Amino acid sequence: MSAVIRLGTRRAPRLALLGTGVVGSALVGRYQRLQARGVALPAFAWIANSRGVVEGEGDLHEGLAQLRAAPANARIVPPWAEADALDAGDIVIDATASDAIALRHAEWLARGVHVVTANKLGRGADLLRAQAIAEAAREGAACYGDSATVGAGLPLLRSLRALVAGGDAIASVEGVLSGSLAFLFHSFDGRTPFSACVRQAREAGFTEPDPRIDLSGEDVRRKLLILARAAGVPLQVGDVRVESLVPQVLASASDAQVDALLDTLDAPLEERLHAARAEGAQLRFVGRFDARGASVSLQALPAGHALCGGAGTDNRVAIHSDRYAQQPLLIQGPGAGAEVTAAALLDDVLAVLPGRASLAA
């Protein structure tokens, strides 16, 4: 029997899932496994993507299949999300990468609707938008669960916020923040062209369908902005210097041309690899902020550097603060993958529910 929360005479909170790609599908699968174990979860009222919407009653996997098979629809935000169908206490799960959906976060929060998200365009885009989200959460007495936006649920944001709440000043944060780029530079050994590593990562689902999104450094910029703002540093988008790995010919290519032009990555990155090895160093794509500024770039790091450990898609982040001045707090773990991201989203859903540890707004 499905485990659904009942709150006496008060209507139980409902779930609304936006996004039915790999993360959304993994979330539905984990939701059903948790239910089977007796974990009490709210019922789905809606599941939607850019093609349409299905009611949450009935077989969830059948609903996902219907949405995937539906014809394309120009409407990005489903009608129920634009109207007043959502009530205070309901929970929206944003498993998209849509700017149009991220624009709705503050509106939902102000109405008392909780938002749980893997979408980095809420707190990782314009600073005014991030500030509006925080203010709306306070006004609406709603929670904003964003642990899936950085580190796929690793305790990065939670640790930073706990340090700040404890009075620590954050001196610096630096890390390998992209699971896809971590995989690429763990795999790239000079024997296989970098372009082949990119194709392998894409086929494994570690990169976006268009790998230029990962290789441009924009994804890492957004994550760095989220971390900095959690640490109390109000960085603007333009404050972060970003080194893109994408040559101009590839950057300007159409979607259909991307795969054929991935080979343009090979020569410059092979040169960077040889130069790093000549110095006994390793290549890592690093995001960092401190008192001097913020940057996202490919770096040649000494083999003993704190960010050179890990394997596969591991994120590895070093936090220097008052209490971690001499030796940083290191947080490491898988930073990409639908299953860990889905688990982080449902962790945040559970944290919203009455009687559980609450989320910071």
pTM of the model: 0.90
Residue 146 and residue 225: Cα distance in Å, rounded?
13
Angle subtended by helix axes 22-36 and 338-352, to nearest 10 = 60
pLDDT in tens, 10-40: 578 999 999 998 899 999 999 999 999 999 9
Q: How would residue 181 be classed by pLDDT, with cut points 50, 70 and 90?
A: very high
Q: Is 223 known to be catalytic?
A: yes
Contacts of 105 (CB under 8 A, 6+ apart): 94, 115, 117, 122, 133, 136, 144
Reported residue count of the chain is 361
* pLDDT, position 70: 76
Residue 330 in tokens: 């290191």
pLDDT in tens, 33-89: 999 999 999 999 989 888 888 877 678 878 888 887 777 665 556 666 665 688 999
List C-alpha distances in Å: 221 to 79, 126, 177, 330: 32, 12, 9, 20
Catalytic residue, chosen from 223, 229, 284, 288, is 223
Residue 210 and residue 258: Cα distance in Å, rounded?
8
Angle subtended by helix axes 218-230 and 127-140, to nearest 10 = 50
* Closest to 82 (Cα-Cα) out of 62, 54, 111, 55: 111
